[in-house]
Structure 1
Amino acid sequence: MKQFADVVIQEKPELTISYRSGLMVYEEGLRDGKWVALSYSASGHMMSANTRPTPPYMDINQFAQPQSFRLNLDGQDLCSHWRCQSVEVERTGEGVKAVVTLVHEVRSVLVRVVTALHGNAVFERYIEVENTSASPSALAMLSPLSGGYQIMTKERNDYKDQSNLYRLGYMKETLWGHEGAFCWKNLSEDSVSVSGRFRRERYRHPIFVLENLVSGETLLGQLAWTGGYTFAFDLNRENARVAAMSMDIALDAPAPLLVLAPGERYKSPSVHIALVFGGLDAAVQEMHRHIRQNVFLPPTRGVTGWVESGIGPEFEMDRDSTLASLEHAHSLGVELFFIDAGWYLPPNTEDEWWNYCGDWRYNKDRYPNGLQEIRDAVKEKGMLFGMWMDAERIGPKSQVWAEHEEWRAMNYNGRRTPSGLLNLADPKLAAWMEDQIRYLLDEYQLDMFRLDHNVGAQDAVAFNQRDGYLENTFARYYDNVYSMYDRLRAEYPNVVFENCAGGGGRTDLGMTSHFTHTWVTDWQIHPRAFSITNGMTMALPPENVDRLIGGQSAYLTADITTLIRNLIFARPTVGCFTPAFVKPNPIQHEIVRHHIDLYKRFVRPMHRESLMFHHTPDLSQVKDGFGVLEIAHEDVSRGMVGVFKISEAGKDETIVYPRGIAAGRDYVVTLDNTGESMTVSGGALLRHGLRIRLSGALTSELILLQATADAAE
């Protein structure tokens, strides 16, 4: 795919910067002391190129807050009185980075507005705030991106008075086990906000999709930030002939977010913005390309997604049970085996895994021959070995809790966090935690490190006293955590780093960019399990999304083929299907093994170059009971469509129209339920689709498509 990135600087009549990447153009500039958003284009057009009579920028007077970033320092909104000190442009390969340095004319503060372009229709934006005064300054509010987005007029856009001009897509739910619940909300007028990790719980991925229903642009944004946030959208239609849409992407926590020492500089989290025509699928695919190329590291050891299994506190975790689980996992084709929460516990206390966190040494009564015996058994089978750690907290029965009460973070009620969250805004405690992780990596020669984080949203809202202020901990906490994982990934390049946070509590790009892949939920029960996969593969590339079968009550609903098909669109973890020392069910075993093999030979090879198609993005709008998910290679040589009967409502039949195919190619189409194959032209599939019949809820069909030349090889 062709890429293009460029920055155009025009100093007269007023300073204007045009950021061009792919067919995306974003323009902003200095107007009367305000740094403001001027235009967004998804078709490659620069408004600054049309100079007669004047460039058709947005009329910033239509917005109460047109500035393209927002900043409050010491109680004063610094929305105006800026002077440009410099504009620097650095070219990096096919990409470009522009830095606009602004100096405030009243307060002693300097801001660098940084925009990175990588050649596709996405731009990355962050700002740096530097205290240039001789005294501490309290950073009370910060929005890395804000201001006007679009202005439509009746004359130009020909919309009706009562039209829904926009619709907003976002993850509706914030509670545990409800991740990925994507929904559409029509916006006719007024303001809407979406929050997480402070005003709401932590299981909402910080993503939004803003679709213009009149002119067709789709803007998809993600905030790479693990602290509190609020996205606000304001559609002002008070002028009967004008509709003005603005947005504000803000960090959210009790102020101040940070107390900057004299000379201290803070780099904000990044906002990643994709702007395209073509709707949700096109926007998701563009963002996935950007994440793969510019946000995430390459796959560990060159493998896109290892098939994992392990043993955790849902089972007896003694030596013999662990080795039996290893045998079972190996027989299914699993490639990586890990020991989950509980390896540090006394025997028969699996239910107390939460209470003993912090004492990160294995229990000798549980493993009399040491964990090295388990690791050696794993390695003898040619598999990778991993261990779990809830590294950022300590449990109330741990020795470290008893000895170091002061290590726990302080909530705003004046009490230490009941979860045992460590005050990692303190560099000394962050260093202690890093030492514990390094001990595990070195002592047990880990191939995989599995992080967990079992802390509720409100418990994570904490403070430290600094220079007479109650400074919120989010900024310093995550600066320390991100930096630590940068070091660990660099020093242990062959270790698979797996992220989890009570499921999907920290799936944002800020956290997951430091990991190989991430769990997106601890809820495995259908039909919601399909909803989670459906939504979270919009937010993240599918190869970075972890899904589970055989644990966490996944066995309570749905037939087994449906359970495991939900996994193989993403990265599968296979739990235990059979209690230790009980003969496995060969029928069940064959079904699981078949799908694991299918993942390895058909799905995984295309994952890094795949396109996701979400046929049913908002499942609340599904009327016929069918959810459909599709993955295809970007060269349309192969693809896979999952048809999931998520309820008994509606009919037993649906027609599926594959999207990741070419009209001029022929495809071998295989229906996995029967194994039957047929050759069909891509044109016929696009025109007529495939009629699929499923009787009964929570059943499924898997459609495999492979271009005939590739199928013959």
Structure 2
Amino acid sequence: MTAFQNAIYADLDNMRFQYESESSIYTEKLVDGRLLFAGFQDNGTSIYEHMDLKDKPSFDLTIDGESLYYGWEYSDFVSTRDELGSTIGTLTLKHTRKSIQLKIITSCSGFGFFKRSMEITNLSNETTFGLTNVTPFKGCIWNITDNIADNLRDDTVAPYSVGRFKDLYWANEGNFAWQAIPVNTGIFFNSTFGMSGHSSPFFILRNNINGGYFVCQMGWSANWKTAFFADYFNDSRLPNKINLNFEVTPVTPSPARLIAPGETISAPDMHFGLSHVDLDTAVQNLHGYLRQFVLRQVGDGLQPVIYNQAGYMVPGYKQPDMSEEGLKHEVDIAAELGAELFMVDAGWYGNNGQAGTDWGNTTGDWHASDVLPNDLFPVYEHARSKGLKCGLWVEIETAGAKSKLAEEHPDWFLEQYGRTFPRVLDLSKPEVKQFVESEIIRLVEKYQLDMFRLDYNSSSHDGGFNLKDGRNENTHWRHMEAIYNIFERVGKRFPNLQLENCASGGGRTDIGIVSRFTTTWVSDWFKMPRTVRILNGMSMALPPEYINRSYSPGMEGNLDSQMHVIMMGHPMLCGITPSLAAANPAIMACAKKYISIYKDFIRSFHRTSKVYHHTPVIPGADGSGWAALEYVSEDRKKAVATVFRLVNADVDCYTLKFKGLDKGANYHVRIEPEGSEFVASGYALAREGLTIELDTALTSQMILLTLLP
């Protein structure tokens, strides 16, 4: 574990609180009952108190329709240090008019990053309060006053830009793009599906005048909103200024959460950092922070190569195609390829003997199908005899229309606008939460699982509503509390259990749920060229070893390129061949080669690698032009880079100039699939680069580098 320079300075005489994480300094001040976002520096130099911003609250809170961003008085401040090395400041505030207490918890964790948590406590002995809404974090990230008119170049330059995933819909995850923030015009982005969406509450703000990046993520797996406003004050009588204001908030119908007397709830966690560096370093700082302080890992954190049973065997996931014999054949394929974990996917459960019953209609009945008369035990025993670990797919938050669970418990579903919302269980109900958690534990223990895959294929949009104390409380908040709480306890109960997060592909890629799992499906679109853009973009928000990418039948492009994509993420394979007897030797050899490259080379430094995005923005409907990713070990002794020719490229060559190598060293270079090997200096690879020539679309080359003595 790396040691960091983290510190907190609390000036209680002036109610000024300064939080330091390496060279990033965040300052707040309690003034006239408001906790202000007083300033944020990225160069390690503190500002003077007279330079504090005086009018930017750092949060917003509305209880029963009454705004409570003001009216607070100081109660306590405590500074502590946790086992990971973070310095934590807890500021306790009490409201002067309403019986509400806030604990504002700020963790300084290194890499220039901070975590902001907010606990809301109802101090009343008899009154239940309704949370109308909360904005856990907001403020003014930059405040420019110098030579604005000249530096804006006559309004031809937007002072600030925001980088975010611009698409919200399935199969378009990770489409990172920059958008200018026009002066005096607010812009916002949000999700509406009841999940964090096929986008994510993640963004990067860029100062286009003075430089610097602000990176922010909210841990929230339901609907959200991020908003930005460039406030340009250009009155000729006064000094000009241009501020960039931001806010991040969960979005749900009110009341989002009823808070009982004496009860404490937590707002979504915020993770943010400011740095005056290049984009690659800003992203690397985020990855370093997430890996060390936020994300869950099992054992040494090395990700297993997964073989997923659904492929040739289960076309369309029709359940009657499931069989013990077929599963055992899939196990044999997985073992032959060199995979390490065998995943049983959708369709293993429920009364599946009924023709035409698909995988979604019997979720909720988590017992082996009648087409598996011996249950899954012989399959898992066969897998373990081949040296494979075992995983299981479960969509635990749903119950299909033909399930026994739906028949026996019709009151367990979301109620929305006076009707039952199909498939989605209401985990805000204690009995449903208890059932879900007990079923997860039962399945893990019954099959001695090594990996539990959670899927969620429903969009509840506004969520459901439950009548409590005469008020219709929305279900999103309690549902997310339940899911987070369940998997925190499951993770502690089974410390060696891999937890895989999947939600209709990339429906939940926010840091709230990802932090409780060990790997995540960022999308279930695996077709070229878009799969490259998904990997490219999502590896900005998440470290690549947490990003599940898969080879599946029906892909575009050549086999090498498909393998290059998945080996740069957390690899999963399925549908390589219908059987070992019918296997194509060339396909098997190619897959084996890249699995070995991943296990023997890439994985050895994957989870600590520095990621360089040579093409952070990939345009086009599916991904046009060229894409290049480079991963380098911390000691710069190993590196892997892949260059992809996508569609609509204007030229046949791309020159890759490596960013992370030791320029004073020599490297052994190996290029796949051509197989050429040679020695080159780090200086030449960085300054002159390697020219990759590909004269047809959807092809690629992978470059493996090893430092020579």
Which TM bucket (shorter chain)? Answer: over 0.9
Tell me the SS of whatever aligns to 1:342: coil
Determine the C-alpha separation between the residues in 1 that align with 2:355 and 2:380: 22
Tell me the SS of whatever aligns to 2:420: coil
Give the equivalent residue in structure 2 for 1:452. Answer: 455
Give the equivalent residue in structure 2 for 1:135. Answer: 127
Determine the C-alpha separation between the residues in 2 that align with 1:702 and 1:470: 55
Query: In the TM superposition, what is the alpha-carbon distance from 1:239 to its structure 2 partner?
Result: 2.8
Give the equivalent residue in structure 1 for 2:210. Answer: 215
Tell me the SS of whatever aligns to 2:50: coil
2:418 alignment partner, one of 401, 414, 430: 414
Alignment partner of 1:323 is 2:328: yes
Deviates more, 1:594-603 or 1:189-198: 189-198
Distance 1:350 1:270, change over 3 A: farther
Query: In the TM superposition, what is the alpha-carbon distance from 1:636 to its structure 2 partner?
Result: 1.3
Alignment partner of 1:469 is 2:488: no
Give the equivalent residue in structure 1 for 2:633. Answer: 633
Give the equivalent residue in structure 2 for 1:185. Answer: 179
Alpha-carbon deviations, 1:647-672, whole Å to 9, x = none?
A: 13310011111111121111112221
Query: In the TM superposition, what is the alpha-carbon distance from 1:74 to its structure 2 partner?
Result: 1.1
Give the equivalent residue in structure 1 for 2:608. Answer: 609
Distance 1:517 1:126, change over 3 A: same
CA contact (8 A) 1:328 1:576 kept: no
Alignment partner of 1:679 is 2:684: no
Give the equivalent residue in structure 1 for 2:105. Answer: 114
Tell me the SS of whatever aligns to 1:128: strand
Count of aligned pairs between the two proteins: 690
Query: In the TM superposition, what is the alpha-carbon distance from 1:369 to its structure 2 partner?
Result: 2.9
Give the equivalent residue in structure 1 for 2:541. Answer: 539
Deviates more, 1:260-269 or 1:623-632: 623-632
Give the equivalent residue in structure 1 for 2:643. Answer: 643
1:89 alignment partner, one of 79, 91, 94: 79
CA contact (8 A) 1:276 1:283 kept: yes
Distance 1:385 1:350, change over 3 A: farther
Tell me the SS of whatever aligns to 1:101: strand
Determine the C-alpha separation between the residues in 2 that align with 1:350 and 1:2: 58
Distance 1:433 1:262, change over 3 A: same
Query: In the TM superposition, what is the alpha-carbon distance from 1:410 to its structure 2 partner?
Result: 1.1
Determine the C-alpha separation between the residues in 2 that align with 1:543 and 1:530: 15
Alpha-carbon deviations, 1:327-369, whole Å to 9, x = none?
A: 11111100010210000152475761000001111023x1233
CA contact (8 A) 1:355 1:396 kept: yes
Q: Give the aligned CA root-mean-square deviation in angstroms.
A: 1.9
Give the TM-score normalised by structure 2.
Answer: 0.94
Tell me the SS of whatever aligns to 1:484: helix
Determine the C-alpha separation between the residues in 2 that align with 1:204 and 1:606: 28
Give the equivalent residue in structure 1 for 2:146. Answer: 154
Query: In the TM superposition, what is the alpha-carbon distance from 1:498 to its structure 2 partner?
Result: 1.1
Query: In the TM superposition, what is the alpha-carbon distance from 1:268 to its structure 2 partner?
Result: 1.1
Determine the C-alpha separation between the residues in 1 that align with 2:625 and 2:148: 40
Determine the C-alpha separation between the residues in 1 that align with 2:20 and 2:388: 46
CA contact (8 A) 1:409 1:462 kept: yes
Deviates more, 1:675-684 or 1:384-393: 675-684
2:309 alignment partner, one of 304, 311, 327: 311
2:433 alignment partner, one of 425, 430, 434: 430
Determine the C-alpha separation between the residues in 2 that align with 1:521 and 1:624: 19
Give the equivalent residue in structure 1 for 2:496. Answer: 494
Query: In the TM superposition, what is the alpha-carbon distance from 1:158 to its structure 2 partner?
Result: 5.5
Determine the C-alpha separation between the residues in 1 that align with 2:385 and 2:600: 24
Determine the C-alpha separation between the residues in 2 that align with 1:113 and 1:151: 24
Give the equivalent residue in structure 2 for 1:359. Answer: 365
Query: In the TM superposition, what is the alpha-carbon distance from 1:120 to its structure 2 partner?
Result: 2.4
Query: In the TM superposition, what is the alpha-carbon distance from 1:673 to its structure 2 partner?
Result: 2.5
Alpha-carbon deviations, 1:694-713, whole Å to 9, x = none?
A: 0111000111111112xxxx
Alpha-carbon deviations, 1:161-207, whole Å to 9, x = none?
A: 41211110001111111111111101231211111145897211220
Determine the C-alpha separation between the residues in 2 that align with 1:86 and 1:56: 25
Give the equivalent residue in structure 1 for 2:669. Answer: 669
CA contact (8 A) 1:342 1:350 kept: no
Alignment partner of 1:105 is 2:96: yes
Distance 1:427 1:270, change over 3 A: same
Tell me the SS of whatever aligns to 2:97: coil
CA contact (8 A) 1:668 1:680 kept: yes
Determine the C-alpha separation between the residues in 1 that align with 2:447 and 2:380: 7
Give the equivalent residue in structure 1 for 2:396. Answer: 391
Query: In the TM superposition, what is the alpha-carbon distance from 1:640 to its structure 2 partner?
Result: 0.9
Alignment partner of 1:74 is 2:64: yes
2:520 alignment partner, one of 518, 535, 538: 518
Distance 1:350 1:628, change over 3 A: farther
Determine the C-alpha separation between the residues in 1 that align with 2:150 and 2:257: 46
Alpha-carbon deviations, 1:514-548, whole Å to 9, x = none?
A: 11111111101111111111111111111111111
User: Unpaired segments of 5 or more residues in structure 1?
Assistant: none
Tell me the SS of whatever aligns to 2:162: strand
User: Unpaired segments of 5 or more residues in structure 2?
Assistant: none
CA contact (8 A) 1:662 1:682 kept: yes
Tell me the SS of whatever aligns to 1:417: strand
Give the equivalent residue in structure 2 for 1:404. Answer: 409
Give the equivalent residue in structure 1 for 2:529. Answer: 527
In structure 1, give the amino acid aligned to 2:177. Answer: C
Determine the C-alpha separation between the residues in 1 that align with 2:133 and 2:199: 21
Give the equivalent residue in structure 2 for 1:8. Answer: 9
Give the equivalent residue in structure 1 for 2:21. Answer: 21
Give the equivalent residue in structure 1 for 2:268. Answer: 269
Query: In the TM superposition, what is the alpha-carbon distance from 1:79 to its structure 2 partner?
Result: 2.1
Alpha-carbon deviations, 1:94-145, whole Å to 9, x = none?
A: 3211111111112221111110112321000011111122311111010110
Distance 1:319 1:350, change over 3 A: farther
In structure 1, give the amino acid aligned to 2:304. Answer: W
Alignment partner of 1:374 is 2:340: no
Determine the C-alpha separation between the residues in 1 that align with 2:150 and 2:17: 30
Query: In the TM superposition, what is the alpha-carbon distance from 1:280 to its structure 2 partner?
Result: 2.1
Query: In the TM superposition, what is the alpha-carbon distance from 1:11 to its structure 2 partner?
Result: 2.9
Give the TM-score normalised by structure 1.
Answer: 0.94
1:168 alignment partner, one of 145, 152, 162: 162
CA contact (8 A) 1:198 1:253 kept: no
In structure 2, give the amino acid aligned to 1:371. Answer: L
Distance 1:623 1:423, change over 3 A: closer
In structure 1, give the amino acid aligned to 2:428. Answer: A
Distance 1:105 1:433, change over 3 A: same
Distance 1:697 1:201, change over 3 A: same
Determine the C-alpha separation between the residues in 1 that align with 2:404 and 2:414: 17
Deviates more, 1:331-340 or 1:344-353: 344-353
CA contact (8 A) 2:624 2:646 kept: no
Distance 1:349 1:391, change over 3 A: farther
In structure 2, give the amino acid aligned to 1:213. Answer: N
CA contact (8 A) 2:500 2:518 kept: yes
Tell me the SS of whatever aligns to 1:409: strand
- Identity among equivalent positions (%) equals 31
Alpha-carbon deviations, 1:656-691, whole Å to 9, x = none?
A: 111111211111122212211221111112211111
In structure 1, give the amino acid aligned to 2:639. Answer: G
CA contact (8 A) 1:648 1:696 kept: no
